[in-house]
């Protein structure tokens, strides 16, 4: 199936490793011109080089913090100046710390809102009007399966990510008439650096080994294994494509079946 991504200009936020990197790589393989960001220059530049070598595609990279509205604004402006337009934006960030309610300070709630919700707002404000100009766009938010099924110990993710889902659904309603789709993707347990950190935090809190933690996750997943970043990226590339033109306002789990609810 030709996804129709050749020549499209895509921004993938927080993309020097893990899910973001896999999405940027997949979009580049499909012929999109890709722009990536993350905070650490060295890993960002290495990822940009790796993608260029693998796909032969153009990759634009800028180090920035997605919580910083000004930096996001400058980045999106630079992408437009460099590639001439912005067609696709995939939002992403690091995850908030794994916490229980009793251990969580007010400042940590504010940080989670900056990291997960406001970072998405910053990208939406900058990219949607640019997509509207051309009457075509794809805005995709990466959240977590916690928006469908809260996970013990992931208080901040369980609480703040659903606000991103609400934002995405509302944007889908407001921007659908301009040829723009807005969808949310919800990863389950997918083998990335973040997941290793999370397994270490859970192991320390519960006084068990990391292997015990990973085994307990696998037992909950009907697929019986962790996901691979490239399995996640393939679904995002489809949602970003011409072929997904009538998929709008959904929240799609890519989770091996761990969400037990009907929707
Ligand atoms: N992997 C999973 O199983 C899973 C499941 C559900 C949800 N998620 C969520 O999906 C997101 C991505 O997870 P991942 O597993 O891909 O994590 P990862 O492997 O740790 O990668 C995170 C990426 O985000 C960048 N980043 C972090 N904070 C940033 C910031 N403030 N500004 C700009 N870039 C930032 C990191 O680079 P720098 O550190 O250099 O900035 C890195 O490129 C997280 O929110 C995570 O909680 C993951």
- The pLDDT tens digits of the residues spanning 40-65 come to 999 999 999 999 999 999 999 999 99
Ligand 1 pocket, residue 253 CB under 6 Å: no
Question: What's residue 198's pLDDT?
Answer: 87
pLDDT at 107 over 90: yes
Q: What is the pLDDT of residues 108-161, one digit of tens each?
A: 999 999 999 999 999 999 999 999 999 999 999 999 999 999 999 899 999 999
State the distance from the centre of ligand 1 to the C-alpha of 26, rounded, in angstroms. Answer: 17
Question: What's residue 194's pLDDT?
Answer: 87
39, 74, 157, 233 from 160: Cα distances, Å: 22, 26, 6, 23
State the distance from the centre of ligand 1 to the C-alpha of 177, rounded, in angstroms. Answer: 32
- Closest ligand 1 atom to residue 38 Cα is 34
Q: What is the pLDDT of residues 15-45, one digit of tens each?
A: 999 999 999 999 999 999 999 999 999 999 9
pLDDT at 258 over 90: yes
Q: How far apart are CA 112 and CA 199, in angstroms?
A: 20
Ligand 1 pocket, residue 127 CB under 6 Å: no
Of all protein residues, the one whose alpha carbon is nearest to atom 6 of ligand 1 is 144
Cα–Cα–Cα angle for 215, 259, 170, nearest 5°?
135
Q: Structural domains in the chain?
A: 9-190+228-254 (3.40.50.720), 191-226 (no CATH)
Ligand 1 pocket, residue 190 CB under 6 Å: yes
- Closest ligand 1 atom to residue 40 Cα is 40
Of all protein residues, the one whose alpha carbon is nearest to atom 28 of ligand 1 is 94
State the distance from the centre of ligand 1 to the C-alpha of 134, rounded, in angstroms. Answer: 30
DSSP assignment letter at 99: B
Q: What is the pLDDT of residues 207-237, one digit of tens each?
A: 999 999 999 999 999 999 999 999 999 999 9
Query: Which residues have C-beta within 8 Å of that of residue 62, sequence separation ≥ 6?
Result: 35, 37, 44, 75, 78
Q: How far apart are CA 256 and CA 263, in angstroms?
A: 14
Task: Count, in order, helices (H) and strands (E) of the chain.
Answer: 9, 7
């Amino acid at each position: 199936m030709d996804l129709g991504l050749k020549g499209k200009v895509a921004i993938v936020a927080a993309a020097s490793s893990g899910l973001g990197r896999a999405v940027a790589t997949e979009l580049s393989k499909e012929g999109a011109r890709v722009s990536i960001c993350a905070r650490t220059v060295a890993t960002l530049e290495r990822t940009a080089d790796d993608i260029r070598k693998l796909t032969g595609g153009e990759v634009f990279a800028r180090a920035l913090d997605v919580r910083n509205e000004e930096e996001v604004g400058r980045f999106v402006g630079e992408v437009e100046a460099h590639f001439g337009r912005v067609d696709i934006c995939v939002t992403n960030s690091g995850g908030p710390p794994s916490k229980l309610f009793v251990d969580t300070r007010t400042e940590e709630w504010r940080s989670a809102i900056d990291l997960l919700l406001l970072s998405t707002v910053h990208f939406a404000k900058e990219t949607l009007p640019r997509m509207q100009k051309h009457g075509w766009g794809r805005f995709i938010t990466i959240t977590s399966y916690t928006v469908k099924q809260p996970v013990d110990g992931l208080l901040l993710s369980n609480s703040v990510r659903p606000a991103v889902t609400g934002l995405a659904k509302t944007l889908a309603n407001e921007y659908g008439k301009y040829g723009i789709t807005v969808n949310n993707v919800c990863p389950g347990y997918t083998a990335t650096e973040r997941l290793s950190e999370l397994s270490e935090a859970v192991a320390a809190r519960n006084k068990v080994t990391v292997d015990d933690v990973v085994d307990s996750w696998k037992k909950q997943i009907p697929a019986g294994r962790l996901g691979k970043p490239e399995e996640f990226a393939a679904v995002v590339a489809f949602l970003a494509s011409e072929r997904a033109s009538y998929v709008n306002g959904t929240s799609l789990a890519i989770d091996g079946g761990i969400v037990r609810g009907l929707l």
